[in-house]
Amino acid sequence: MLATVLGLAAVTAHADDEIQVYNGEITTPGRWTGQYHLNYAIRGRKEPDFPGGLIPNRTTNGTAEFAYGVTNWFEFGFYIPWAIDGDGFHSNAMKLRTLFVTPDAGKRNFFYGLNIEYDYLMPKFAETRYGMEIRPIIGWRFGDYELIINPIVDLSFGSRGEVTFVPNMRFARNFGEDFAIAVEYYTDLGPITQFLPFKEQGHNSYGVVDFKLDRFDIEFGVGYGLTPGSDRLMTKLMITTNLFDEEEQDEKDEKNGKANGTNGKGTMASSRVPHIAGRRAMAAGMPSDPQNHLKLSTLGAAVMSEAIGAARLSMTRGRSTPRPTVACFPPARFTMLRSRTQPTEGATDSR
Asked if the structure places residue 336 within a domain, the reply is no
CB of 222 closer than 8 Å to CB of 214: no
Asked if the structure places residue 268 within a domain, the reply is no
Cα(222)–Cα(65) distance, rounded to whole angstroms?
21
Domain count across the chain: 1
Amino acid type, 317? R
The alpha-carbon radius of gyration of the chain (Å, integer) is: 21
pLDDT exceeds 60 at position 17: yes
Give residues with Cβ within 8 angstroms of 113, minimum separation 6.
Answer: 22, 24, 99, 100, 101, 102, 105, 136, 137, 271
pLDDT tens digits for 120-169? 999 999 999 999 999 999 999 999 999 999 999 999 999 889 999 999 99
Over residues 84-89, mean pLDDT? 94
- Domain span including residue 58: 2-242
Asked if the structure places residue 115 within a domain, the reply is yes
pLDDT exceeds 90 at position 333: no
* CATH number of the CATH domain containing 234: 2.40.160.40
CA dihedral for 167, 29, 216, 104, sign (positive or negative): negative
To the question of pTM greater than 0.75 for the whole model, the response is no
Query: How far, rounded to the nearest angstrom, does the alpha carbon of residue 347 sit from its chain's CA centroid?
Result: 28
pLDDT tens digits for 23-82? 999 999 999 999 999 999 999 999 999 999 999 999 999 999 999 999 999 999 999 999
Cα(36)–Cα(332) distance, rounded to whole angstroms?
8
Cα(153)–Cα(181) distance, rounded to whole angstroms?
27
> Who wins on pLDDT, 221 or 7?
221
Query: Which band of pLDDT confidence, cut at 50, 70 and 90, is reported for residue 177?
Result: confident
Amino acid type, 311? A
Asked if the structure places residue 254 within a domain, the reply is no
Asked if the structure places residue 189 within a domain, the reply is yes
Cα(187)–Cα(201) distance, rounded to whole angstroms?
7
Give residues with Cβ within 8 angstroms of 219, minimum separation 6.
Answer: 20, 208, 209, 210, 236, 237, 238, 273, 274, 330, 333
> Who wins on pLDDT, 166 or 317?
166
pLDDT at 16: 81
Backbone angles phi, psi at 251, to 5 degrees: -65, -40
pLDDT tens digits for 286-310? 343 434 333 433 334 444 455 445 4
Q: Kindly state the percentage of the chain with pLDDT values over 70.
A: 66
Q: Return contacts of 136-142, CB within 8 angstroms, 24+ apart.
A: 136/112, 137/22, 137/23, 137/24, 137/101, 137/111, 137/112, 137/113, 138/112, 139/23, 139/24, 139/105, 139/110, 139/111, 139/112, 140/109, 140/110, 141/108, 141/109, 141/110, 141/111, 142/109
Over residues 243-263, mean pLDDT? 61
CB of 228 closer than 8 Å to CB of 199: yes
Asked if the structure places residue 172 within a domain, the reply is yes
pLDDT at 251: 67
Asked if the structure places residue 38 within a domain, the reply is yes
Cα(226)–Cα(221) distance, rounded to whole angstroms?
16
Asked if the structure places residue 317 within a domain, the reply is no
Amino acid type, 245? D
